[in-house]
Amino acid sequence: MGAFKLLSCALAVITLTSAAPLTLSHFKRSITNDTSSVSDQHFDYIIAGGGLTGLSVASRLSEDTDVTVLVIESGYDQQNDPRVYDVRTYGEAFETELDHAFKSTPISWRDGKQLSMVAGKMLGGSGSLNGASWTKGPKTQYDLLPLLTGDESWSFENFNEYMLRAEHFNTPDPDAPAIAKGAHYLSEYHGTSGPVEVSFADGMFGTVQLEAIEASQKVWPGLKVNADAASGIVNGVTTIPNQLNPDVEQNRSSAHTAYILSKDAVKRPNLTILTGQRVTKLLWDRKSGDLKASGVSFQHDENSKPISVITANRL
């Protein structure tokens, strides 16, 4: 287990009174680029990709101190980059080292050109470079999922319970600038005790929103103002909040800030987040008859040697 090995390293440093100026807090951080901190170890859960889903799941699983969790992410921790924490820079991260920039197949009606498809390459994934809009899809679409899954529990009502649980809606002051500029909401459709910070952006929310609402009603007579699309009824014209901290700087709230940094998951000895490594292969255990994933292979990039194989105990 990672904690044991890290702890024994720390003890070795202390007993040897090494000259290396390593502090204990150095050993406590879960985020590392160092593959030797995971090789030859077993983890209960291995998560390929430390994006929105990966980090949320890693955080929830590692709340249980009985399980060990490894996340392998191809990008790095980019939290101090303004293209990540400042949503107002939206678009500046595209086609940089923060973007996988996957290429589409050649498109015949675009002279055979390939399009770049944005996909975040860092902790928090696309959630660290997206538009940070916080809303929901139409209730009717969620309610079709049971037809696909055969499981009645995949309904809007049940999903909504978890969506509300993720959210920390920061109710704006009645005289907050965003309200004066046309922001509206209904409290009953927002969660208030989750880790993801959701706010109306006073700084961002001050340009064309009100005019856009009025203009769309002129263009489409009868278009209704929707009090809050988070209800699951999304038709009409409306305003939505963003994933932003409520303070004056309004930094982005992402899976990385909400589920790892603000929950101090980064200090959990049971959680290791390995960055700078791409998962290239899932390993399968066929012994039991059922196909069972038992580990992964990963490598830094296509030119480096595939390094380690890790066995997942519970995957």
Ligand X SMILES: Cc1cc2nc3c(=O)[nH]c(=O)nc-3n(C[C@H](O)[C@H](O)[C@H](O)COP(=O)(O)OP(=O)(O)OC[C@H]3O[C@@H](n4cnc5c(N)ncnc54)[C@H](O)[C@@H]3O)c2cc1C
Which residues bind to ligand X, rule: CB under 6 A?
48-54, 72-75, 118-121, 125-127, 130-133, 278-279
Contact partner, 119, from ligand NAG, ligand X, none, Cβ < 5-8 Å per class: ligand X
Taking every pair of Cα atoms in the chain, the longest distance, rounded to a whole number of angstroms, is 78
Smallest separation, CB 290 to ligand NAG (Å): 25
Angle (nearest 5°) at CA 190 between 188 and 192: 110
Find tokens 């580990």 and name the residue: 295
Q: Which of 155, 251, 262, 297 binds ligand NAG (CB under 6 A)?
A: 251
Closer by beta carbon to ligand NAG, 6 or else 234: 6
Contact partner, 233, from ligand NAG, ligand X, none, Cβ < 5-8 Å per class: none
Q: Hey, what long-range contacts does 167-176 have (CB within 8 A, 24 or more apart)?
A: 167/134, 167/191, 167/192, 167/194, 167/196, 167/198, 168/192, 168/193, 168/194, 168/195, 168/196, 168/197, 168/198, 169/198, 169/199, 169/241, 170/197, 170/198, 170/199, 170/246, 172/199, 172/200, 176/200, 176/202
Please choose, out of 19-27, 72-80, 212-220, 279-287, the segment that lies near ligand NAG by the rule CB under 6 A.
72-80
Give whole-number Cα distances, 55 to 9, 130, 232, in Å. 26, 16, 26
What single letter denotes the amino acid at residue 251?
N
- Alpha-carbon dihedral 197, 207, 202, 172, rounded to 10 degrees: -80
Smallest separation, CB 2 to ligand NAG (Å): 8
Residue 304 near ligand NAG by CB under 6 A? no
Binding mask 31-60 for ligand NAG (x = CB under 6 A): xxx---------------------------
Closer by beta carbon to ligand NAG, 209 or else 270: 270
Contact partner, 65, from ligand NAG, ligand X, none, Cβ < 5-8 Å per class: ligand NAG
Closer by beta carbon to ligand X, 52 or else 258: 52
Q: Which of 15, 23, 25, 80 binds ligand NAG (CB under 6 A)?
A: 80
Closer by beta carbon to ligand NAG, 87 or else 163: 87
Contact (Cβ atoms closer than 8 angstroms) between residue 42 and residue 1: yes
Listed in sequence order, the DSSP H helices in 177-270 are: 177-180, 209-219, 255
Query: Could you list the residues that contact ligand NAG (CB under 6 A)?
Result: 1, 3, 31-33, 65-66, 68, 76, 79-80, 85, 247, 249, 251, 269-270, 275-276
